[in-house]
Amino acid sequence: AQAIFVHSSLSLSRMTESAHDPPTAHVVGEDVPATSTVMSAQRVSEDPEMTVFYDFVSQEEAEHLIQLCEGRWLRSTVTRGKESVMMGEKSDWEEKFIDKNGNNNKILTAPVDTPQEVIGDSRTSYSCRLAYTDSDVVSRVMARTAHVTGVSFQQVEELVVVKYRAGEYFRIHHDGACRPKTVFVYLNDCASGGETVFPNAGLKITPVARTALMWSNVVGDGDNAVADRRMDHEALAPGEGCTKYAINCFVNRNIQNDCQVQIGTCR
């Protein structure tokens, strides 16, 4: 794999992406003060599409997000299910209801094809989910994700902050065809290890604090979109003495939140 160090010394074209934050949802309460964010973007690969954003978050925001997760870390899960469902191929399952208690209160059962979240040996990291209601910083990062991916705020999933201690990893996986794009934000540097590797695309990305990596997960549009298996990737384990923090910012093809109703300032 070609090693890519996401530093400004890369001899690739750079462009100013955004001089200021896009519109965002606001949460009442004490928080990190909002500041203007100047991001610069650098195309790492044209096909498959992959872009690096520098200064995607501020140092204060990165520290705040990690602090929000204190006491909330849980063992990371993996999604298990029928590959044709998760990767965008058609499935012919139907919803099934059962009257479990004999009182006509029918319960929707999960079909066998429905993906399930489970703890597995292929992923040994820890995760923390953050909703836009948790903090203005969370909503700002979600708004930036919507901005750079070109979708509405409502299509951005809850942020998934991940923590990899020395020796922890996430084996080869794909983010799923239901997520047209992923924005992965590195919150800190890692002196050794911790790279994100795309073996089918021949790319290895070294984590650099406050830098975001955006890639497309699919080929095709809308209902015809299927997983681009060139974007299968893995998180290598950090070296001794390093704990890697990062954020999965997933864009979903379906609506994920109703913040427009609750707050009224979504993009």
Q: What is the pLDDT of residue 175?
A: 95
Is 83 or 217 the better-scoring residue by pLDDT?
217
> Three-state DSSP class for 237?
coil
pLDDT at 32: 56
Residue 192, class by beta-carbon neighbours within 10 Å (0-12 exposed, 13-18 middle, 19+ buried)?
middle
Position 10 confidence tier, pLDDT thresholds 50, 70, 90: very low
Please give the domain boundaries of the chain with CATH numbers for all domains: 2-80+116-262 (2.60.120.620)
pLDDT for residue 59 is more than 60: yes
193: left (phi over 0), alpha (psi -120 to 50) or beta: left
Q: Which residues contact 99 (CB under 8 A, 6 or more apart)?
A: 105, 106, 107
Q: What pTM was estimated for this model as a whole? A: 0.78
pLDDT by residue (tens digit) across 161-188?
999 999 999 999 999 999 999 999 999 9
Distance, CA of 37 to CA of 25 (rounded, Å)? 16
Q: What is the mean pLDDT of residues 226-255?
A: 97
Portion of the chain with pLDDT greater than 90, in percent:
63
At 182, the amino acid letter reads: T
pLDDT in tens, 116-137: 889 989 999 999 999 999 999 9
C-beta separation of 125 from 170 below 8 A = yes
What confidence score (pLDDT) does residue 99 get?
Answer: 39
Cβ neighbors of 83 (< 8 A, separation 6 or more) are: 89
- 180 prior amide bond cis, ω within 30: no
Q: Write down the pLDDT at residue 46.
A: 92
Whether residue 9 has pLDDT greater than 80: no
Q: Which residue has the higher pLDDT, 105 or 61?
A: 61
